[in-house]
Amino acid sequence: MADTYDVVIIGGGPGGYNCAIRAGQLGLKTAIIEKRGKLGGTCLNVGCIPSKALLHASELFDAAKNQFAGLGIKTGKVELDLKAMMGQKDDAVEGLTQGVEFLMKKNKVDYIKGFGKITGPGKVEVDGKTLTTKNIVIATGSEPSTLPNIEIDEERVVTNTGALALKEVPKKLILIGAGVIGLELGSVWSRLGSEVTVIEYLDRIMPGADNEIAKEAQRVFKKQGLEFRLGMKVTGVEKLKTKLKLSMEPAKGGDQEVLEADAVIVAVGRRPYTEGLGLEVVGGKTDKRGVIETTDHFKVAEGVWAIGDCIAGPMLAHKAEDDGAAVAELIAGKAGHVDYDLVPSVVYTNPEIAWVGKTEEQLKEAGIEYKKGKFPFQANSRARTNHETIGFVKILADAKTDRILGAHMMGVGVGEMIHEICVAMEFGAASEDVARTCHAHPTLSEAVRQAAMGVEGWTMQM
């Protein structure tokens, strides 16, 4: 292990480990410090990856139970083996965390297990040992926000961590927060047999998503069995011997209501995690939400940088990855930059929801004139053959220049299809560029092309 580094990264999540890989590739002597005992951060250990393993398995379970017969496939009685389902999820996580450790070795990055604390400019202490470095990169991520009068035990009243490891299927499950976590985990447990109620403070689901998509999504999830209570404020959860009693009242004021549940998942957002980091010794500051203040190019102070969930911008693993690579490039004297307008969002429900760029509401608010093309999967031949016709693609383009400003999709596979628009927007494409690009037939992606044609009013297959 070196005595002096070019870069010491605190935090081994997607931001930190991608920064380490890029720094290693660029020949910088790099160390990464992680306190969890495993690399990969929230995403790999208790977030994106395990949730996708459960979303996939529960989707197949649901298909076997409810859809196979319609496709002419006979099965015996379809039963759930929750222990095995959790086991394959743990295997996926284990394999991937080991993969990240391998990538550290491959790129000659020192992986140091322990809690990293900044003790001065160019100095980071890990469990009593001081590392000296030219650059410190803070990649400490975020932690779940909590609510007053709710005590998390990760057994019955849980965050995303406990929700991915419940030992049995709760009969009645309440989710607090109709954001991304609420919808994804609500879908998993509903498919596995729970009666799910989602309570949301606002009068809509998925704040941040385009309104038209959010409305359609709520209708579809309701049909799938999720009950929504919008405009409700949770005031507490009382733990009885076998049951939980959740109290709530209308957000605008009114009578209290009590709901019973077997488990409650709290998913009301996340906040930056900077506890005990020693940010102040290098003059680092946080705003009132705990977000570390940086320049546009990730700088906190001379030789101190911050990336990912603990700074401004969307709290998403892929945004953190891009921040990490950009900072490594800046440290190496190159031009690192991330355009937060082009960070896609994907909600991995069934069907998926995905978007990039501006929503209609944002364009209206900014007074930007736009044109809109929309195409339903109901009219897409591949979606029809697959019996997966829910949802639509919507493309928004500048009324004068035709430059694409945003795309919003709901449908099977849109989490992959959104990247066509990300690439187009990265190159400053017009909707006509997408409309005139040949798309294979029959594919779901043809819906993207047809929506792009719709911007100029020449959708052909509807």
Q: Active-site positions?
A: 441
* Least Å from the CB of residue 217 to ligand NAI: 13
d(CA 280, CA 276): 10
What DSSP designation does 34 have?
A: E
User: How many CA atoms lie less than 13 Å away from 393 in the CB half-sphere?
Assistant: 29
d(CA 3, CA 23): 17
* Least Å from the CB of residue 314 to ligand NAI: 6
Nearer Cβ to ligand NAI (16/373)? 16
Nearer Cβ to ligand NAI (15/177)? 177
Nearer Cβ to ligand NAI (174/326)? 174
Residue 167 CA to chain centroid, in angstroms? 24
d(CA 131, CA 278): 14
* Least Å from the CB of residue 19 to ligand NAI: 20
β-strand partners of 8: 31, 136
Pair of tokens at residue 42: 């929230």
Nearest to 167 by CA among 189, 144, 150, 152: 189
Nearer Cβ to ligand NAI (346/444)? 346
Angle at the Cα of 268 from the Cα atoms of 262 and 269, rounded to 5 degrees: 140
* Least Å from the CB of residue 354 to ligand NAI: 9
Q: For helices 414-426 and 446-455, what crossing angle results, to 10°?
A: 50
Angle at the Cα of 376 from the Cα atoms of 179 and 374, rounded to 5 degrees: 85
* Least Å from the CB of residue 175 to ligand NAI: 9
* Least Å from the CB of residue 368 to ligand NAI: 25
d(CA 336, CA 326): 4
* Least Å from the CB of residue 85 to ligand NAI: 19
Please give the residue ranges that form the binding site for ligand NAI (CB under 6 A).
147, 176-182, 184, 199-202, 207, 233-234, 267-270, 315-316, 346-348
d(CA 67, CA 147): 39
Q: Residue 392: in which H helix or E strand, if any?
A: strand 392-398
Nearer Cβ to ligand NAI (269/303)? 269
Nearest to 270 by CA among 427, 47, 454, 449: 47
Nearer Cβ to ligand NAI (33/199)? 199
Nearest to 150 by CA among 250, 267, 63, 44: 267
3-state secondary structure of 317: helix
Nearer Cβ to ligand NAI (200/360)? 200
Residue 387 CA to chain centroid, in angstroms? 27
